[in-house]
Structure 1
Amino acid sequence: MGPAEPFCGLLKLPSELIDAIFTFLSPLDLAALSLTCRKLNEHASTDLHWQQRVLANLPGNRITTPYPCESWRELYASHDPHWFLTRYRIWFCDRELTGHMIVVRYDARRGCIEGYRMVVSREAAGVQTWVADSDVHIHFFKPIVNLHMDKPVLQLNARRYNAAKKQDESEATQRGRQGWRRAEYPMQLNTRSDPRHSNILLAKRLEEHDYDHILENAFPYGNVWPPPNIPATDRVIGKPAGLHRLPSPDSEAEEPFWRVESRDDMSETTFRIRHYLDLGTPSLAVALGEEISTYSTLDPGLYTPTAEKPWRGIWVGDYSGHGCEFLLINQPEVPGESDEAPLEREPGETEEEFQARFLRERVHRGRLEAIKLTGDPNVPRGEYTFVADDLGPRGFVGVAQEEPFQGARIVKSRGHIAAEGFYHDKYMESQLIMVSHNRLAQYWVGFGHISFFERVDIDQFLVPR
């Protein structure tokens, strides 16, 4: 059987079946098929296919028009290969010790992929002594989380971005290279408060053998981002905050850990932003004060709560003089958990008895890790802020009898503290008060105070108002 016969067989299928098959193809495969023959080009160019691929990258934001583009296919092409930015939504960076966190979304009114920094303000908070121990002070906390809309961190406009890509590809053709390999595009942030230029850069994923030995080092772990405490499929080499020069894409001396040679090299869970001041002229550019920030995202499974892991999520915590900080509450799976059958009610068991057994056997067990996504000068981003090694019997302290924690489960935990600059870090005795699935309290025993943490609803920021 010759190689052309299976292909001819595909062409003989009903149109509806061909379209059904095409729904399983990646955008790259769909584009490749459109180049094979006229009939497959007609199917692959059908706008419904490209609408599906656009919407697959916009969780929580069901746009209804490809505006400002003429078609969904054109819209997809305008923002390729950067659709992963909206697909993963949440991004945190390695800027200094504090870092910051952004939400990336799509604004259908402007055809724009945009990213804004998450900020927190506090309503007037009070302090009171704990009824259970008059030497302990409770620091009440009511956070208000918003996006800093006055100053975008990332912005890719479909029309401007498409024009920039065409210019880059034209220049690249003259150099005999693929344009997108340059992997750096200017952004139009339209902010008068910041005179710097900002470019977005694709990042090259590292092979595990390139970084596994580096992560064994002490902080900052060879500038690998994200750091080892944060589960990740891709890691890249970052740069410490400060003034840096990014190697030229045309330089033969460019670091091999940076250059994106192909889509296979490209990471879809990390990227970089380069800030710089351009003090030159169009014919003689002089870039000063270059600064590189490396961003990473999180697997949605890490912050999506389940019945068995109800505390998973993105949280914000009160760190007194350091302000508010964002963290990931991670509940790793217990060994063998994935092989367990669903828990079912036993004959004669009441609903209340079943729920109690479900909590005992499936919820109150395993480890809970609170990992900073943004940090402070003492304990930086990417480090544990506290850890409860066992939510089950081995870590159980008791059930709170006094207000405001009455009825809450209390387990042993370890609070992470350090001197400024993350020197002499250590863990101190603490207790985790499990107020609800959306609110936790940490009792720092040695400090004599209790601070609060609250879950953040990321979905509220995904659709521009």
Structure 2
Amino acid sequence: MEIPNPPPFVTLPSELIHHILSFLSLRDLLSLGLVNHALHEHSLEDTLYQPFVQFHVPGTTLTKPSASNWRELLKTHHPYWFISRNKIWFADSLHTGKVLIARYDPRINAIEAYALVAERRQPALTTWAWNPDAVVHTFSPRIQLDLNAPVVRLDPTAYGNATGFGIRQVQKEIPMSLYGDPPRASAGLYSRLMLTRPWPEEITDESTAIWPPLILPSSSRTINSSATQFRDENYRPSRLSELSTTTFRVRKWMEFSSRPHGISMRVGEDITTWATLPEECYTPTAQKPWQGIWCGDYASHGCEFLAIIQPDDPKPLPERAEWAMRARERQGSVSSSDSWSTAPTDAIEEQEAVHTPDVETSLADSVATLQATTPNERSPSPIPSLTEDDSAYSGRIEAIKLTGDPNIPRGEYTFIAPDIGPNGLVRVATEDMFKGARIVRSVGHIAARGFRDNDFIASQLILISHNRLAQYWETFGHVSFYERVDVDALIKVS
């Protein structure tokens, strides 16, 4: 019998074939392996899979796995690698939220995510020469991961037999061991991870219960309200093509057992939906140097985390923010209403604690007094014109809370500087505290407890450096500070 000639491609030297295959996507590489026996053997070359694994582990250069090979390692955590690849995850937990930093730990072959926390430390009161009456406290937060227990841990034991590149059990809830080995099952604490599917954009509006909210950039969103506690299979992908790689869920509960009767009772079930941000939206560039994840000083509320974004095509300002900017132009520095609501100051917190309808008028009068005596936009130095070196000073800066408090919850604006260019410039500071910093017009978001009567008031954003900002809340005569979070330093496994 005449043996057919092999395809010319497979007659090439193996090194050249492998080099060509290195340009294929994972899907194409796996498909190529189904063509014939020769190409299947070439598709198994282990070095072809190292770039795919490394792509999902930013910030750390991996060495060859000791217990397996690159292909097996990639299969083990497929399709959950997106959790470590996206690094930053924030929760829809009511009011407060939470931020996770995700990473892959090669020492235990696990994808983990830990809560990002910050210690405010004891502040000191300082004097601002430009406005000695302003309340200015130092801010030097200690930012770290809470390594006591992960919020997410995915290791080979969690997946069971559901591993591989095919259509794995994407609807399965993955049990996570969060408290060591063996897990603390005896304490009745359980946690499972669920995959999600994107919610259709064409049926999404401001009233849709989705996460992340529309004011945060995202390539896809998912529903975060369910009458069945997300037990309905329609909430989860049925195939890999339906999988959202920008959201996931965690189901947590406690379980008590009655030993004499062998009856278990589940209580306190809680489901959290997590979302990530597109990396290009929080990565600083030469033209957008303030983009990033930041930690802010919110006085008695402690430290909170926010995303600072410099959008190319910003949405219209919220209506009350627009009113505050227009009122400022007409009357000087005033809020859009006589709101007494919160800014991040201890004094205002005390006002909230005693708020009743009977005292609202006196509190509004107190704000009016502050407005009358605070030096807002007096400029001790001429406003210089921008030069080519100042090209970064253009466009808008938006600060959106990733964590929140009872007044302004997670997923809401905390401040907006509509134009950091020449049209928004107030002055360049000459006083020692902020010397050389550009100060631009902005609006700050305030509200009473429960996010009631939310409003925007005039403020000034002080661009101290690319890693440090300050916000002068004119109405309250208070300065709060913000520090950049070094995300890349946190994802390194020490």
Q: TM-score, normalised by structure 1?
A: 0.83
Q: Within 2, Cα distance between the matches of 1:21 and 1:423?
A: 60
1:392 Cα deviation (Å)?
1.0
C-alpha contact (below 8 Å) 2:167/2:240 kept by paired residues:
no
Larger mean Cα displacement after TM superposition, 259-268 or 276-285: 276-285
C-alpha contact (below 8 Å) 2:167/2:239 kept by paired residues:
no
Aligned sequence identity (%): 42
C-alpha contact (below 8 Å) 1:155/1:188 kept by paired residues:
yes
State how 1:410-425 maps to structure 2 within 5 Å.
410-425=439-454
State how 1:274-423 maps to structure 2 within 5 Å.
274-279=251-256, 286-333=265-312, 357-360=387-390, 362-423=391-452
**Is 2:461 the counterpart of 1:432?**
yes
C-alpha contact (below 8 Å) 2:188/2:256 kept by paired residues:
no
3-state SS, counterpart of residue 431 of structure 2: coil
Q: Within 2, Cα distance between the matches of 1:310 and 1:112?
A: 33
1:445 Cα deviation (Å)?
0.7
Q: Which amino acid aligns with 1:450?
A: V
| Equivalent residue number for residue 180 of structure 1 | 169
**Is 2:260 the counterpart of 1:231?**
no
C-alpha contact (below 8 Å) 1:334/1:366 kept by paired residues:
no
1:147 Cα deviation (Å)?
0.4
Q: Which amino acid aligns with 1:201?
A: M
Q: Which amino acid aligns with 1:402?
A: E
| Equivalent residue number for residue 57 of structure 1 | 56
**For structure 2, which runs of at least 5 residues remain unmatched after alignment?**
315-384
Q: Which has the larger radius of gyration?
A: 2
Aligned CA RMSD, in angstroms, stands at 2.7
C-alpha contact (below 8 Å) 2:120/2:302 kept by paired residues:
no
Kindly tell me the number of residue pairs found equivalent between the two proteins: 415
3-state SS, counterpart of residue 134 of structure 1: coil
Which of 189, 206, 217 aligns to 1:196? It is 189
C-alpha contact (below 8 Å) 2:120/2:297 kept by paired residues:
no
3-state SS, counterpart of residue 333 of structure 1: coil
What CA deviation, in whole Å up to 9, does each residue of 1:80-126 have, x standing for no partner?
Answer: 11001111111111011111001111111111111100110123311
C-alpha contact (below 8 Å) 1:205/1:265 kept by paired residues:
yes
**Is 2:260 the counterpart of 1:267?**
no
Q: Within 2, Cα distance between the matches of 1:32 and 1:373?
A: 40
1:149 Cα deviation (Å)?
0.4
1:42 Cα deviation (Å)?
1.6
Instruction: Name the CA shift for 1:356/1:134 in 2 (closer, same or farther; >3 Å).
Output: closer
| Equivalent residue number for residue 330 of structure 2 | none
Q: Within 2, Cα distance between the matches of 1:317 and 1:310?
A: 18
Q: Which amino acid aligns with 1:161?
A: A
3-state SS, counterpart of residue 434 of structure 2: coil
C-alpha contact (below 8 Å) 2:159/2:174 kept by paired residues:
no
1:195 Cα deviation (Å)?
4.1
Instruction: Name the CA shift for 1:11/1:225 in 2 (closer, same or farther; >3 Å).
Output: same
Instruction: Name the CA shift for 1:195/1:401 in 2 (closer, same or farther; >3 Å).
Output: farther
Which of 162, 165, 180 aligns to 1:165? It is 162
What CA deviation, in whole Å up to 9, does each residue of 1:300-355 have, x standing for no partner?
Answer: 111111111111111100000111011111011269xxxxxxxxxxxxxxxxxxx9
| Equivalent residue number for residue 346 of structure 1 | none
| Equivalent residue number for residue 205 of structure 1 | 198
1:456 Cα deviation (Å)?
0.7
Q: Within 2, Cα distance between the matches of 1:47 and 1:18?
A: 13
3-state SS, counterpart of residue 21 of structure 1: helix
1:399 Cα deviation (Å)?
1.0
C-alpha contact (below 8 Å) 1:92/1:297 kept by paired residues:
yes
C-alpha contact (below 8 Å) 1:239/1:294 kept by paired residues:
no
1:198 Cα deviation (Å)?
0.7
Q: Which amino acid aligns with 2:283?
A: T
| Equivalent residue number for residue 70 of structure 2 | 72
Q: Which amino acid aligns with 2:30?
A: A
**For structure 1, which runs of at least 5 residues remain unmatched after alignment?**
170-176, 249-253, 336-354
Q: Within 1, Cα distance between the matches of 2:258 and 2:42?
A: 48
Instruction: Name the CA shift for 1:245/1:206 in 2 (closer, same or farther; >3 Å).
Output: closer
